[in-house]
């Protein structure tokens, strides 16, 4: 397995970053052993607003082709937000060690990670990145817009919320 001398830069959409930070903090409070890796990688990340920069960045809902430990086999999975991952063979949670290692990378980037369950070190190499899947979930909701508009107006009745 080829060593990675310098960690690659991480670039994430702001929406993915915000949701993953919230998830990571909650996971850390629950004592999830993988939360430290997620939060440390998010700490290294640079964020951007949509549309993504040219070059294909691994983001939540992207289909990613990758190699593990310099093996010739290329695997492909869709990166899913941990709260919506269903555990199928077609997807991987963005909070799993492999998912965290792939977050924000580009084609050709290599990133080391540790699989805590197996106790092994690995290196993932990004072979290809497809654009994020277009879903309603990919559009940031604005749940507080109504409350902000009402802040200078009388408080509405409960049935108006």
pLDDT band at 136 (very low <50, low <70, confident <90, very high): very low
pLDDT band at 145 (very low <50, low <70, confident <90, very high): very low
- Tell me if residue 124 falls in helix, strand or coil: strand
* Average pLDDT of the chain to the nearest whole number: 81
Q: How far apart are CA 52 and CA 38, in angstroms?
A: 21
pLDDT digit string (tens) for 111-135? 999 988 788 999 999 999 998 876 5
pLDDT digit string (tens) for 30-65? 999 899 999 999 999 998 886 655 558 999 989 999
Q: If you average pLDDT over residues 99-107, what whole number do you get?
A: 95
In order of their start, the domains of the chain are: 11-155 (3.10.50.30)
What per-residue confidence (pLDDT) applies to 118?
Answer: 80
Q: Which of 106, 84, 105 is nearest to 95 (CA)?
A: 84
Strands 11-13 and 46-48: parallel
């Amino acid at each position: 397995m080829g060593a990675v001398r310098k960690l690659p830069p991480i670039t994430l959409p702001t929406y993915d970053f915000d949701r993953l930070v919230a998830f990571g903090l909650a996971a850390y409070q629950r004592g999830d052993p993988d939360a430290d890796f997620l939060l440390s990688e998010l700490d290294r990340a640079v964020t951007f607003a949509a549309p993504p920069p040219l070059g294909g960045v691994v983001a939540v809902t992207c289909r990613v082709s990758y190699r593990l430990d310099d093996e010739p086999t290329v695997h492909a999975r869709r990166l899913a937000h941990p709260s919506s991952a269903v555990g199928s063979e077609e997807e991987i949670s963005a909070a799993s060690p492999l998912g965290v290692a792939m977050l924000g990378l580009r084609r050709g980037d290599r990133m080391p990670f540790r699989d805590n369950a197996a106790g092994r070190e690995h290196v993932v190499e990004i072979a290809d990145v497809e654009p994020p899947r277009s879903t309603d979930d990919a559009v940031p909701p604005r749940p507080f817009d109504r409350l902000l508009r009402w802040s200078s107006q009388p408080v509405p009745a409960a049935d108006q919320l």
